[in-house]
Structures are given as structure tokens and as C-alpha cells.
Amino acid sequence: MPERIYNFSPGPGTLPQEVLTQAAKDIVNFNDKGIGLIELSHRSKEFMAVYAEAEAGVRELLEVPDNFKILFLQGGASTQFAMVPMNLLGKNQKGTYLNTGTWAKKAIKEANIIASAEVAYSAEDSMFNHVPRDSDYTVAADSEYLYFVSNNTIYGTQFKELPKSDKMLISDMSSDIMSRAIDFSKFGLIFAGAQKNMGPAGVTLVIVREDLLDRVADTVPTMLRYKTHAAKDSMFNTPPCFAMYCVGLVCKWLKANGGVAGMAKKNAEKAAILYDMIDSTPFYKGHAQKDSRSLMNVTFNLPTPELEVEFIKQGTERGLDGLKGHRSIGGCRASIYNAFPQQGVLDLVAFMQEFAKANS
């Protein structure tokens, strides 16, 4: 087994080696101050500088407009399934949802507990192997927003373009945040768990338009209001300090490696190598329809479940780890987020060629 494996896991995903090295040093002795990063008071000037750097890094990389607040919250992206309708919908209001996978279904369930979710499109009958075209759905005239998951980690699908809507867009971007540019003029809010493309698990990024903060009802608990956290610059309570710090480091790494535009180009190149391999032989079959294929999560099957088990086993032995598909659909999945190196994709393709030849 090599000293460092290739981590194809859907999350927590691969982080840049430089980030891991710096974080390991700072956990023990932050900036040579004789105290570890995770011991620092979140109210100290040292940590406030960490927060400011992370916030500025996100704002610069994603070109976040001044009228949006950047929040670092806890509870994972799953908490946002409820916080979005809690903060943006009144009791008799509704949001329109596109059901393109497991995480969209969970968000729809939460929205229906709090207010009302109208499902304008569902890809469930096709095992979520595609995302809809604009002509496939209609957003209700009395809806407050259109909610969609930009990249579906489990099924390997991704919106190539923003869904069309006269209403503001709300998006869960947990698995493709910072992989491409975002047109914020279309959005009211986006959110993303950090553990796939931005840092370690423990912090969730929320970027919300400021004028929406006052929509929240007084009956919503204090900690579940975006306004609470926006007013205190994510410091209302002790935040996920280490994870926020790592987001800042990842932002530095991204800026040094071409920024979001550079990542978009590299991600397209990596995914093309892998999809070309899948398309070159009937031994492998991609799950997602070609026009919906994700650049972050490549899902595929082999001729039999038994061969898939052997493929995953042999891949793991070669340092190609995390290739097992989600338990809900099986098969195989290679997650190739921003920090995943192209050489890892090339090594996987070489293994796929060998395995297909040996088992055809």
C-alpha cells in the first residue's frame, strides 16, 4: 500500500496535501504562538483574523456580491433542509422543488413539515439518472423560490446550467461548490457542507442575500435564524473553529492554483478522461445520462454485482480507495473533487483497462 492513497470517497473528500501539512502544524502550535489552533478562543484577535481570512477567501473566489452575507454554521447541510423554509417561507407559503435525488427528497420532506413544497419535477422513476431540462417543469406562480441540488453525489448527475425560473433560486451546492463560477444575480441563497470540496466536516457555508434575513418569523428558534448568525459574523456561539480555518487554507490553495476558473478547467479534463474510459467498452456502463453527467462524482456499473465487489477490492489493494457506490444504488463511484489529482484518475483508468481485459 502506498504512503498516501487516492481517496475517491464522496465525502469527506480529498484535501490538498499543502493544507493537511499546514493544518497539522497549526493544531500543535499556531503561528508559533505556543498554543494550538483548536485551543484558541474564538473571541481572540488571532482567531478573528482566521475567520476574516476565510470569509474574504470565499467572497473573492466566488465573487460574492456585497449584498450577500457569508455564514459559517454547524449542523451540516442537512440542517439547511429545514432552515431554508423556516427562514424564507411563512406558514401558508410554498417553495418549488426539483426532485433529482436523495438529498432533494430529504429537503422536500423537511419543507413540507414547516410550510409547503411543490415538486415540479421528479427523476425518481429513472433512478435519478438525469436532471430536468427547463421545458420539463413549471415553477408555481405563487412559489417563493425554486430549490435544486446542483450536483447529485449519489447518482452522479449535475446541472450544467442554472435551472430557469422567474423566482429566486435556492441551491444545495454541497458537492460542487467552488468547482465553477456562480451567477449570484439569480440566487437568494446557496449552502454547502464543507467536507467534499472546501475542507473537513463540521462547518456548513451559507451565502444568503441580506434582504431575506428579515423574512424569518419570531416563532423560529434563535439558533435557527440566519439573521442571528449574520448579526454576529458567525460568532453568536462558538463556531466550528478548525473547519473554518481549513476552509481559509483551501481558499488560499485554490487562489494559488487558478481559482474557480482554473478548477473548472481541470475538473472537466479529469472527468473527460474517466468518462472516455467508461464509453470505450461495454464492460463499464455509466449510470447518469450523458447530458447530465457530473464532473464531481462519476457513477458506473460492471457486468455483475460480483465483479463490482472484486473491482472495489482490487482497487483498494492498489491504493484506489472509496470506489464503492452508495448503498442505495450499488455499483461504483469515483469522486474527483477539486483537490483530487489527475494522476489518480489516470491510475484508475489504467486499473479499469486491466480489470476489463482480465474479466471480459
- Condensed to tens digits (0 to 9), the pLDDT of residues 94-120 reads 999 999 999 999 999 999 999 999 999
What pLDDT shows up at residue 47?
94
What pLDDT shows up at residue 40?
93
What pLDDT shows up at residue 291?
97
Distance CA 261, CA 181 (A): 7
What pLDDT shows up at residue 327?
86
Residue by residue, DSSP assigns 30-41 as: GGGSSS-GGGS-
Which cell numbers in the block locate residue 171?
A: 441551491
Residues 158 and 151: beta-carbon distance below 8 Å: yes
Tally Cβ neighbours within 10 Å of residue 265.
Answer: 12
Distance CA 177, CA 189 (A): 13
**What one-letter code names the amino acid at 200?**
P
Torsion over CA: 186, 218, 233, 39 (sign) = negative
Residues forming the active site: 103, 172, 196
Q: Which residues contact 152 (CB under 8 A, 6 or more apart)?
A: 100, 101, 102, 103, 104, 128, 131, 158, 175, 294, 297
Instruction: List, in order of start, the domains of the chain with CATH numbers.
Output: 18-256 (3.40.640.10), 259-359 (3.90.1150.10)
For the stretch 179-234, pLDDT in tens is 999 999 999 999 999 999 999 999 999 999 999 999 999 999 999 999 999 999 99
Phi, psi of 214 (to 5 degrees): -85, 0
SS3 at position 223: helix
Q: Which residues contact 88 (CB under 8 A, 6 or more apart)?
A: 95, 144, 145, 170, 188, 189, 212, 215
Residues 166 and 138: beta-carbon distance below 8 Å: no
Distance CA 89, CA 74 (A): 21
DSSP-assigned letter for residue 293: B
Residues of the chain with pLDDT under 50: none
Tally Cβ neighbours within 10 Å of residue 206.
Answer: 24
Among 212, 326, 216, 348, residue whose Cα is nearest residue 273: 348
Distance CA 110, CA 115 (A): 9
What pLDDT shows up at residue 2?
60
